[in-house]
Amino acid sequence: MIPLAEARAHVLQQVAPLASTAVAVGDAAGLVLASDAVAAELVPPFANTAMDGFAVRAADTIGAPVTLQLVGTLAAGAAFEGTVEAGQAVQIMTGAPMPDGADAVVMVERSTIDSASNRVEIEIEVEVGNHVRRAGEDVTTGDLLFRAGTVLGAGHLGVLASVGLQTVEVIRRPRVGVVSTGDELVDDGGVLQAGQIRDSNRRTLLTLVAEAGWEAVDLGIAIDEKETIREAFISGAESCDAILSSGGVSMGAFDYVKVVLDEIGSMRWMQIAIKPAKPFAFGMVDGTPVFGLPGNPVSSMVSFELMARPAIRTMAGHADPFAPRLLAISEDSLTHPPDGKTHFLRVEGEPDESGRWYVRRAGGQGSHQLTAMARADALAVVPDEVEVGPGDEVEIMVLR
């Protein structure tokens, strides 16, 4: 067996960020900036009011209460024709541009309109700039908005839209193919025949890929027949940036996946000192990374989290490809017999008001018991010969 760190290093040394491409800002959520984003406009583009109220000359409010003549009403999206002179005011709505001559806004709650005389009483003195958003107060032309490497979220995309950007240069979204292998697998919903099991791995992995923000490609089930397996991997390598395969990476007599991948690719077959997910394979088929994950459903998911996800995040341009790890308090005993492996136990829990996590077993820990993995919020990382009892600290890898 080899250490997890060695296996990860082997994989990460062979993957690199994909090429950059220009995409519409609305399609860039979750993608990584490939170049710096620089503002070509001011935000706001003009001075405007932050409140509903009255645009005034601040000097006219000295000695308030004072009465000013109303000379207009201004809504957002409109412009005032003319100039606010001494003794005058313009009724103004939030977001409307400041009229020429006005330099402050009195909020509507501190004023009273006399409709009969078309005048307004201002109850308070205000200073220049009161409730006024200056042009360029948020962003100035030439400002560096976000550096290359930024992962674009809702706020980032809002800022890019606010300066008029229609497209943005990003690392291309990975296209990830998923294939399950094995004669025993079915997914037609029919009555199971002797020896058959339903294919859960493909659905699980396709969903994990989609949730990560990548493009998921269903490559189907490849039965234990060399040409079928060969075709699945060759066609996947032609159309995808990476392939996730589940099953056929152990030492079984009918594991044709190993035979085929050794013929068409350059693979390394590993036994990693972890549980679950000890068997793992990685290599290239026509330059496309292939991740050979175990067939047991929990092992497949854990192998994806530990090995495939960091590598594909690297391909997507993420500077830190790993899931966050932190210390939690265990409410259960998480010990295991010494076996030379680091165990990744499925736990559920949440942080308390102080942010401290408390975790407990999510259910059965067998590599076939997918329900516990579905419930898990994190994986507890328990090295060999380390005892974790109730109340002890344990490192966890957060899943969601």
* Residue 117, burial from CB neighbour count under 10 angstroms (0-12, 13-18, 19+): exposed
266 and 234 assigned to the same domain = yes
31 and 81 assigned to the same domain = no
Rounded to an integer, what distance in angstroms lies between the CA atom of residue 319 and that of residue 209?
A: 19
Q: What is the pTM of this model?
A: 0.89
- We report the CATH number of the domain holding residue 33 as 3.90.105.10
249 and 309 assigned to the same domain = yes
Sheet holding 104-107, edge to edge: 104-107, 53-56, 88-92, 66-74, 119-122, 111-114
64 and 164 assigned to the same domain = no
- What pLDDT does 254 receive? 61
332 and 373 assigned to the same domain = yes
Rounded to an integer, what distance in angstroms lies between the CA atom of residue 8 and that of residue 28?
A: 28
Indicate whether 320 belongs to any domain.
Answer: no
Interval 280-316: pLDDT, tens: 999 999 999 999 999 999 999 999 999 999 999 999 9
- What pLDDT does 381 receive? 97
Residue 190 has a CB neighbour count (10 Å cut-off) of: 9
- We report the CATH number of the domain holding residue 267 as 3.40.980.10
DSSP code string of 170-227: EEPPPEEEEEEE-TTEE-S--PPPTT-EE--HHHHHHHHHHHTTSEEEEEEEE-S-HH
- We report the CATH number of the domain holding residue 115 as 2.170.190.11
Indicate whether 68 belongs to any domain.
Answer: yes
- What pLDDT does 239 receive? 97
109 and 60 assigned to the same domain = yes
Residue 358 has a CB neighbour count (10 Å cut-off) of: 15
66 and 122 assigned to the same domain = yes
Alpha helices in 71-125 (DSSP H): none
Task: Please measure the distance between the N-terminal and C-terminal CA atoms of the chain and give it in whole angstroms.
Answer: 29
Length of the chain in terms of residues written = 400
Q: Are 54 and 71 in contact (CB under 8 A)?
A: no
Rounded to an integer, what distance in angstroms lies between the CA atom of residue 389 and that of residue 381?
A: 13
202 and 294 assigned to the same domain = yes
Pairing of strands 274-275, 111-114: unpaired
Rounded to an integer, what distance in angstroms lies between the CA atom of residue 346 and that of residue 351?
A: 16
In the listed set 272, 292, 315, which residue is the last one of a domain according to the structure? 315
Count up the domains in the chain and report the number: 4
Q: Are 292 and 284 in contact (CB under 8 A)?
A: no
- The gap from C-alpha 146 to its chain's centroid, in whole angstroms, comes to 17
Q: Are 199 and 186 in contact (CB under 8 A)?
A: yes
**pLDDT in 10s for each residue of the chain, 400 residues:** 999 999 999 999 999 999 999 999 999 999 999 999 999 999 999 999 999 999 999 999 999 999 999 999 999 999 999 999 999 999 999 999 999 999 999 999 999 999 999 999 999 999 999 999 999 999 999 999 999 999 999 999 999 999 999 999 999 999 999 999 988 877 888 888 888 888 899 999 999 999 999 999 999 988 888 999 999 999 999 999 999 999 887 766 567 899 999 999 999 999 999 999 999 999 999 999 999 999 999 999 999 999 999 999 999 999 999 999 999 999 999 988 899 999 999 999 999 999 999 999 999 999 999 999 999 999 999 999 999 999 999 999 999 7
Indicate whether 233 belongs to any domain.
Answer: yes
215 and 257 assigned to the same domain = yes
Q: Are 43 and 139 in contact (CB under 8 A)?
A: yes
Handedness of CA 153, 155, 160, 164 (dihedral sign): positive
Residue 115 domain boundaries: 48-133
